[in-house]
């Protein structure tokens, strides 16, 4: 690998570096995503999509990262996690991010959409014909599904599901029984679309939409005959949603998780969103009901759930306001019409997704399913989605009499239900379904195919940095690695046996496996380069991942940098390592690349003089990945293949002059200033151009 940054002077002495806050770093990542919604070089509907993505990310942040006792007590233990002051700073950052979202939505995106003839029309803006149509829609489609609940001793505050849309109404006058109970709740049914297109007869042919909340708001009075509707507001509560199942105590993890899913929507509240105009009387009432402090209240000047605006993007037929369609090419290292098994005997194959098609992986499995010489298929399943051709192929393999073993991770967050359904389906038709090791998530992505060839049984494998999900394979950047390497496939066989039998794992030839060897090997490798650099050797570390938060690895990198190792880290999301801090991390550069596709590969590159090592992996450098998950890292030993990864996924991204952000000594990120030179490039855009000249995607 050629030098990618100028030589940096070595710190004369170690200086302690204060690590960055993980949760603040997650919010900073979302600020970088939101920047795409600000960019005028991005198509308008795509800018709206990025706004929605940030809202979805924030939902998950609150559901998973903000623990219930934090919102209640604003305190944690003394091990450096949270104090009242640090939690207040985090809350302030979250409020600031939400405020930026709605300012962008109201002041930039909605006016720009209106210029394009796309408008979400409020009740006050509708003319008489439009109001009549909305009234008819309300009576026909909405009202039959609404049950307003007036609160009294026999009608307590109803159960409100996580992230559901609701109205709270303050009523005047007396009810039918002469009582003055003044609060009512209206749940908005989730089965109804949140965006409704007005028909041409009342829209004048324009793209005019009404929101479901606006439809209900305009007819609240119709729901409370004889009462005066005074104050009202939309509201939405976010609840802690990380499933907690004691695997040591349950006899059937699948059953326990299915039962837990029934309660996920009603976990402890952590955030309350209300309309900006919500009265203090109503917001205080809701805060008390959900046992939340004032800091958990978010007043929003617009839809309380921006995520649902993705429906608008789907409803508007305006290709010129979206990214041009990206068609991945047929994998360049495959030969159309040639058997995968014959091709892999010639050498390994790398597929760079989504620039090259994930269909290459599906075709590999499809050939194995249809080949009578294939006797067994083993695969891990983490996130495949609810509608998956891959799972259909596994089902067909069982039908054809092959031995199919599937390791299903039931605790893949927010994919639990789909994975439970798949596991039950496969088990019902005779597949061997396993759930990995108690207490460890199986996050490794691997497939092993055993084929009879003459008197021998030969193995072929697929390893990946990403999930077996055809939909996300078009949206995430990842590497797929197809191999017939005997040492590597033997390792994968041993790992599957270990996951099934829980027997002692034999020494592996090539693969580094968490929670056994991966963490230790990475630390040892960093220490070796640290010592070599201290002795005057030229040493280099480049690592790409989604998150870097493991304290041991972070401190090892800091010490390596202080010894003279040049380190570049491409970390998409949370990073707790402070970069470019004088006297502490001068030799470490951290950057984040946010592009059209979600950056997802994990790549670890080490160089001592001219000796290079490169690993692909399923693991981020987080404590949970290293010690509480089954993860893989495997070497790419072919020099040509290794250089391809270096060129396309390390050099290109370290020289990205358009979509990259650099972590500053202050702990904040600054977007690189695009060079006026013609050399300025976006790594993702360059890869799309490079592969667009290849053959069109086709089936093998």
Q: Which is the catalytic residue, given 219, 240, 352, 443?
A: 443
CB 215 within 8 A of CB 142: yes
What stretches of 106-226 adopt beta strand conformation (E)? 118-120, 149-150, 166-172, 183-187, 195-197, 207-211
DSSP state of 468: S
Residue 445: burial class (beta carbons within 10 Å; 0-12, 13-18, 19+): buried
70-91: buried (b, 16+ CB within 10 Å) or exposed (e) per residue?
A: bbeebebeeeeebeeebbeebb
Residue 10 confidence (pLDDT) above 50: no
Q: Please tell me the distance from the alpha carbon of residue 217 to that of residue 169, in angstroms, as a whole number.
A: 10
Per-domain residue ranges for the chain? 121-321, 340-510, 514-692
Fold for 340-510, please state it: Endonuclease; Chain A (3.30.870)
Residue 92 confidence (pLDDT) above 80: yes
Distances 147 to 92, 224, 582 between C-alpha atoms, Å: 36, 11, 62
- pLDDT tens, 289-320? 999 999 999 999 999 999 999 999 989 989 99
Distances 262 to 256, 266, 332 between C-alpha atoms, Å: 10, 8, 46
| CATH number listed for the domain at residues 514-692 | 3.30.870.10
Percentages (nearest 5) of helix, strand, coil residues in the chain: 40, 20, 40
Residue 263 confidence (pLDDT) above 80: no
pLDDT value, residue 422: 66
- pLDDT tens, 425-443? 777 777 788 876 667 788 8
Sign of the Cα pseudo-torsion (45, 49, 55, 59, in order): positive
DSSP state of 108: I
Q: Which strand ranges, in their side-by-side order, compose the sheet holding 228-239?
A: 149-150, 183-187, 166-172, 228-239, 269-275, 297-300
pLDDT value, residue 418: 65
- Superfamily grouping for domain 121-321: Polyphosphate kinase middle domain (3.30.1840.10)
The residue that leads in pLDDT, 365 or 226, is: 365
Q: Quick one: average pLDDT of 235-259? A: 59
Residue 416 confidence (pLDDT) above 70: no
What are the backbone angles phi and psi of residue 213, rounded to the nearest 5°?
Answer: -65, -35
Question: Is 514-692 in the same CATH topology as 340-510?
Answer: yes
Q: Beta strand pairing status for 183-187 and 566-571?
A: unpaired
Secondary structure (3-state) at 611: strand
Residue 248 confidence (pLDDT) above 60: no
DSSP state of 13: S
- pLDDT tens, 116-159? 999 999 988 999 999 999 999 999 999 999 989 888 766 788 88
443 in active site:
yes
Provide the mean pLDDT of the chain.
87
Q: Beta strand pairing status for 476-483 and 598-599?
A: parallel
CB 565 within 8 A of CB 529: yes
Distances 268 to 160, 237, 307, 484, 589 between C-alpha atoms, Å: 11, 10, 21, 49, 40
- pLDDT tens, 680-698? 789 999 999 999 866 555 4
């Amino acid at each position: 690998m050629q030098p990618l940054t100028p030589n940096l002077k070595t710190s004369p002495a170690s200086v302690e570096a204060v690590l960055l806050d993980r949760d603040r770093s997650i919010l900073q990542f979302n600020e970088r995503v939101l920047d795409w919604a600000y960019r005028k070089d991005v198509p308008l509907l795509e800018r709206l999509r990025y706004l929605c993505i940030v809202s979805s990310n924030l939902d998950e942040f609150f559901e998973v990262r903000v623990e219930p006792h934090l919102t209640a007590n604003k305190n944690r233990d003394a091990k450096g996690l949270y104090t009242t002051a640090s939690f207040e700073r985090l809350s302030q950052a979250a409020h600031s991010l939400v405020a930026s979202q709605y300012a962008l939505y109201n002041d930039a995106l909605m006016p720009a959409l209106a210029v394009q003839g796309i408008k979400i029309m409020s009740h006050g803006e509708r003319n008489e014909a439009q109001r009549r149509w909305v009234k008819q829609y309300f009576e026909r489609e909405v009202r039959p599904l609404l049950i307003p609940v007036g609160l009294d001793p026999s009608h307590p505050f109803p159960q409100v599901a996580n992230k559901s849309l609701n109205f709270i109404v303050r009523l005047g006058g007396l009810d039918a029984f002469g009582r003055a109970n003044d609060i009512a709740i209206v749940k908005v049914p989730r089965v109804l679309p949140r965006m409704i297109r007005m028909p041409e007869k009342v829209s004048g042919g324009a793209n005019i939409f009404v929101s479901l909340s606006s439809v209900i708001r305009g007819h609240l009075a119709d729901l409370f005959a004889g009462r005066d509707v005074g104050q009202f507001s939309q509201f939405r509560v976010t609840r802690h949603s990380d499933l907690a199942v004691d695997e040591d105590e349950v006899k059937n993890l699948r059953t326990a998780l299915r039962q837990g899913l029934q309660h996920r929507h009603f976990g402890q509240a952590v955030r309350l969103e209300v309309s900006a105009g919500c009265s203090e009387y109503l917001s205080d009432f809701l805060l008390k009901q959900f046992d939340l402090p004032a800091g958990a209240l978010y007043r929003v000047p617009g839809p309380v759930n921006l995520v649902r605006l993705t429906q608008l993007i789907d409803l508007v037929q305006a290709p010129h306001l979206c990214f041009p369609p990206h068609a991945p090419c047929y994998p360049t290292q495959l030969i159309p019409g040639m058997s995968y098994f014959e091709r892999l005997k010639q050498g390994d194959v790398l597929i760079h997704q989504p620039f090259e098609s994930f269909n290459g992986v599906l075709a590999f499995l499809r050939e194995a399913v249809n080949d009578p010489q294939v006797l067994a298929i083993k695969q891990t399943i983490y996130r495949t989605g609810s509608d998956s051709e891959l799972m259909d192929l596994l089902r067909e393999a069982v039908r054809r009499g092959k031995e199919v073993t599937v390791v299903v991770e039931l605790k893949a967050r927010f994919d639990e239900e789909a994975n439970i359904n798949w596991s039950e389906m496969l088990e019902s038709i005779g597949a061997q379904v396993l759930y990995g090791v108690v207490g460890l998530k199986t996050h490794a992505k691997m497939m092993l195919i055993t084929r009879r060839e003459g008197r021998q049984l030969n193995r072929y494998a697929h390893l990946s940095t990403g999930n077996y999900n055809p939909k996300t394979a078009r949206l995430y950047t990842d590497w797929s690695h197809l191999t017939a390497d005997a040492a590597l496939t033997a390792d994968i066989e041993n790992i599957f046996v270990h996951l099934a039998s829980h027997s002692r794992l034999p020494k592996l030839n090539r693969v580094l496996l968490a929670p056994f060897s991966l963490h230790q090997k990475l630390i040892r490798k960093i220490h070796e380069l640290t010592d070599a650099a201290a002795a005057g050797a030229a040493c280099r570390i480049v690592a790409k991942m989604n998150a870097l938060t493991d304290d041991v690895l972070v401190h090892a990198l800091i010490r390596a940098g202080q010894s003279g190792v040049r380190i570049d880290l491409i970390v998409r999301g949370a990073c707790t390592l402070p970069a470019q801090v004088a006297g502490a991390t001068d030799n470490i550069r951290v950057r984040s690349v946010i592009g059209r596709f979600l950056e997802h590969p994990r790549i670890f590159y080490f160089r001592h003089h001219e000796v290079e090592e490169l690993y692909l992996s399923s693991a981020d450098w987080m404590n949970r990945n290293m010690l509480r998950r089954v993860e893989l890292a495997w070497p790419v030993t072919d020099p040509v293949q290794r250089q391809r990864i270096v060129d396309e996924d390390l050099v290109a991204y370290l020289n990205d002059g358009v979509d990259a952000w650099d972590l500053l000594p202050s702990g904040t990120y600054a977007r690189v200033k695009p060079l006026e030179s013609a050399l300025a490039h976006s790594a993702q855009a360059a890869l799309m151009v490079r592969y667009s000249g290849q053959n069109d995607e086709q089936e093998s």
